[in-house]
Amino acid sequence: MRKPVDLKRILKYAATLVGYVFITLADGKFSPLSAALLVGNLGAGLNPLPSFFLYALPFCISADITPIWIGATCGAVICAYFFIAGRYKRTPTFEIIPLTFISLIPFIAASPSYGYLEKTVISVTVSAFSVIMTAGARVMLIKGLRYRVKTDEFIAAATLFCAVGYGATVSLGSYAWQAAGLTITLYAAVILPKGFTAVVAAVSALPVCLYERSFSAMGIFLVCSLAAMIFSERSKILTSFSVVAVQVMLWLFTDVYPVKDPAYSLILLIPSVVFLFTPTKRLSRLKDAMALYKSDNLVRYSVNRNRSAVSGKLYEIAAVFDEMYGSMQKLGEKTVSKESITDNAAEDVLLSVCSVCPSLKKCRNRDFPSPEILKNAVSIGFAKGRLNLVDLPRSFSENCAYPESVTEKVNSLIKLFEREMDENEALESGRQLVLSETKGLSAVLKALAFSMSRQLEIRRDSEKKLLKKLFTEGIFATEALVFGDDSDVEINVTLPQKDVAKKAFLQSVEEVFGFPPAITAKADLTRDLSSVTLKRAPTFDAVFGIAATTKSDKQKSGDTHSVTKLSENKFLIALNDGMGSGEGAEDVSATAISLVETFYKAGLPSETVLSTVNKLLAFNRKDDFTAMDIGVIDLSSGGADFIKIGSPYSFVVTKDSVKIVEGNSLPLGILDEMRPTISRTTLSSGDVIVFMSDGVSDAFGSSGDLVGFLSSQRALNPKILADNILNRALALTGGEAKDDMTAFCVRIFKKVC
């Protein structure tokens, strides 16, 4: 099977041939000046054999045997050394300098072009430049524009470029090289950072300056580069036109062009025409692929690598909790059947009572008591919780000489069993609590691991657009880092502290990204510089109002409320009604709502939060329980989840109606297991959520009366609405608060940008 043609390799050798030709022709006498480039190309890894033929080819143009054999001899010595070094897997180092000088001895001895002193100086210079050409060739042939280069490498590449350019200027004329140099400058204005465009222009002008012994070309190139930089971000047409306009102005009104030949004016149009007809997509790809001088690549890589590492570790920790959950389920206490309990109790009675009875022998002769009779008696005792003499079967009482001892033993076994059952129940409740928390923690860790596993998408175009927009608004941001997709984009900007509060800052971000932003984090780096993080601002915002009073004969209220931020776009509202009034009810209510806040902020699922709080309250032997209304509001979508546990009606007051949110679950802390009522709805701008404790709802008497009252209270701010509800409830009870009363209102409204 034939190997595919390596086009890149062919282009590399073609480029080296161009370099050999122009450098060999640089002095017009076919001196072996290109020997330094040959050393550089071989040092960059090119094959010695084809390199020798390409190096020797330009000397053949002279049709003179002397430069041909001198050039061939020089090239043969250098290529032979690199060939031998390659066979022994050795990389030539500084010995290439004396090697190059040795290869040029035929030139010093036999070339008629210069005197011996001049030829010696040329040979020493070419030998010294062989090191520079090696570094330059590596940049040109290997690194290109894809990798960051060091300062010395950049200088070496510029030297090689100037050497080839000077040879091209000598061979083709200064205007031809000006056309090529200006074309390169135009591309640099689009592809490279702005400061480097002027550097490229200056380096491109040097060959013409050396050839003409004048810096006029340097002025032309720098002015053209400035024009290109100004318009490169705006339009290709403006960029091309600006360069042409600059040259026309210089042509007409200055003397920088020594010969005003109209034929040359056509040559000077070539750069703009070539640039103008280069496909925009091609330029964009070159710009994106050009990683030179981009110092934040490693930072971005490190961020994503650290995210992946954290994600993997979180998955591992989640797996530990999953394993604990599975093991605890498998190793949990096995259930004991009722039959086995009565069998064991009956056997214990035989061993501890009957075995020491004086009538044992007599009973055995009569096969008394039979296992069935004894089990029946024990079963009655366990069923009632206590065994009395009257509970014993008649056949047992008539034949047993000491029935009191049997009942006493059975009752002691019942007490022991009840005590063990209480302990086992407490252990099982604790085990179930740990199981619930373990499962919840595993779910939280997995969700966090999944979010961390997403690699942050780099958005360089957006970064550049933002920096440019801020610059036009007079805000000089030094850095911008944009991650994520359109649904969850994160924008990080470093800018002067005084500009953070400017309205133009947020407006510029909105114009670039197409959505209203919100600052979610800010850090002051220095006295004058800050870094801020922005995300998509929520569509909605909320205001709150609360009105409350304690029971008339109490100092403390069992009603507590909470507003808790869960994330940038979500918050939790809760109203908790501890049963009863006073200090005890307040303690239970505050404990319950504190637990709910903490667990929700940790990211635990609702079912885990409520189950855990319920079990914790159920641990208390007192009759402490609490009713709770919970709402989780998403300010981005307007979605709302309502969770009701033993609480009265809640309401959503819209501009057209009053919606009832009802539930039928028992309060927290009554039963070990509970099933809250969960309902979901979507809120609109202007909707008001109304939570109230049973002190308020009982005062109104019925949900119909509440709906009727709320229907007359639309379009009020939440504080006024809460006050009106409480005042109406007090009016209905004759001004006396028969229970703790709380009205908690939340109004959702669309943000005005």
User: pLDDT value at position 77?
Assistant: 92
Mean pLDDT of all residues in 130-143: 82
Residue 299 binned pLDDT confidence (cut-offs 50, 70, 90): low
Cα distances from 328 to residues 325, 373, 608, 615, in angstroms, run: 5, 40, 17, 18
Beta bridge pairs of residue 634 = 570
User: Of 177-181, 193-197, 293-297, 567-571, which one has max mean pLDDT?
Assistant: 177-181
Residue 208 reports pLDDT greater than 70: yes
**What SS3 class is residue 90?**
coil
User: Of 365-369, 523-527, 659-663, which one has max mean pLDDT?
Assistant: 523-527
User: pLDDT value at position 723?
Assistant: 92
User: pLDDT value at position 745?
Assistant: 92
Q: Are strands 529-536 and 540-549 parallel, antiparallel or unpaired?
A: unpaired
**What SS3 class is residue 244?**
helix
Q: Lowest-confidence range among 144-158, 297-311, 524-538?
A: 297-311
Residue 587 reports pLDDT greater than 80: no
Contact status, residue 556 vs residue 751, Cβ threshold 8 Å: no
User: Of 163-172, 241-250, 400-409, which one has max mean pLDDT?
Assistant: 163-172
Alpha helix ranges (H) inside 46-173:
48-56, 65-87, 96-103, 105-110, 116-138, 151-172
- For residue 324, count other CB atoms closer than 10 A to its CB: 16
Residue 523 reports pLDDT greater than 70: yes
Mean pLDDT of all residues in 198-219: 87
Residue 666 reports pLDDT greater than 50: no
Q: What is the spatial order of strands in the sheet that 650-653 belongs to?
A: 540-549, 741-750, 688-692, 650-653, 658-661
Residue 668 reports pLDDT greater than 50: no
User: pLDDT value at position 79?
Assistant: 92
Residue 660 binned pLDDT confidence (cut-offs 50, 70, 90): confident
Residue 53 binned pLDDT confidence (cut-offs 50, 70, 90): very high
| Alpha-carbon span 120 to 129, nearest angstrom | 14
Residue 674 reports pLDDT greater than 60: no
Q: What confidence tens digit (pLDDT) does each residue in 547-574 have? A: 988 887 777 777 778 888 877 778 888 8
Query: Percent of the chain having pLDDT more than 70?
Result: 74
User: pLDDT value at position 121?
Assistant: 92
Task: Please classify residue 592 by burial: count the beta carbons closer than 10 Å to its beta carbon, then call 0-12 exposed, 13-18 middle and 19+ buried.
Answer: buried
SS3 content of the chain, % helix, strand, coil (to 5): 60, 15, 25
| Alpha-carbon span 31 to 473, nearest angstrom | 58
User: pLDDT value at position 667?
Assistant: 46
User: Of 112-116, 138-142, 346-350, 373-377, which one has max mean pLDDT?
Assistant: 112-116
Q: Which helix (H) or strand (E) holds 429?
A: helix 403-453
User: pLDDT value at position 441?
Assistant: 63
Residue 494 reports pLDDT greater than 50: yes
Q: Which helix (H) or strand (E) holds 629?
A: strand 626-634
Q: 272: Cβ–Cβ under 8 A, 6 or more apart, which residues?
A: 186, 240, 241, 243, 244
Task: Please classify residue 533 by burial: count the beta carbons closer than 10 Å to its beta carbon, then call 0-12 exposed, 13-18 middle and 19+ buried.
Answer: middle
Q: Lowest-confidence range among 317-331, 336-350, 510-524, 688-702?
A: 317-331
Residue 57 reports pLDDT greater than 70: yes
Residue 426 reports pLDDT greater than 70: no
- For residue 598, count other CB atoms closer than 10 A to its CB: 13
Query: Percent of the chain having pLDDT more than 90?
Result: 5
User: pLDDT value at position 389?
Assistant: 73
User: pLDDT value at position 292?
Assistant: 45
Residue 336 reports pLDDT greater than 60: no
Higher pLDDT, 342 or 576: 576
Average pLDDT, the chain: 78
- Which residue type sits at 115? G
Higher pLDDT, 267 or 729: 729
Higher pLDDT, 409 or 262: 409
Residue 670 binned pLDDT confidence (cut-offs 50, 70, 90): very low
Higher pLDDT, 403 or 536: 536
Residue 123 reports pLDDT greater than 70: yes
User: pLDDT value at position 316?
Assistant: 65
| Structural tokens at position 631 | 């709402």
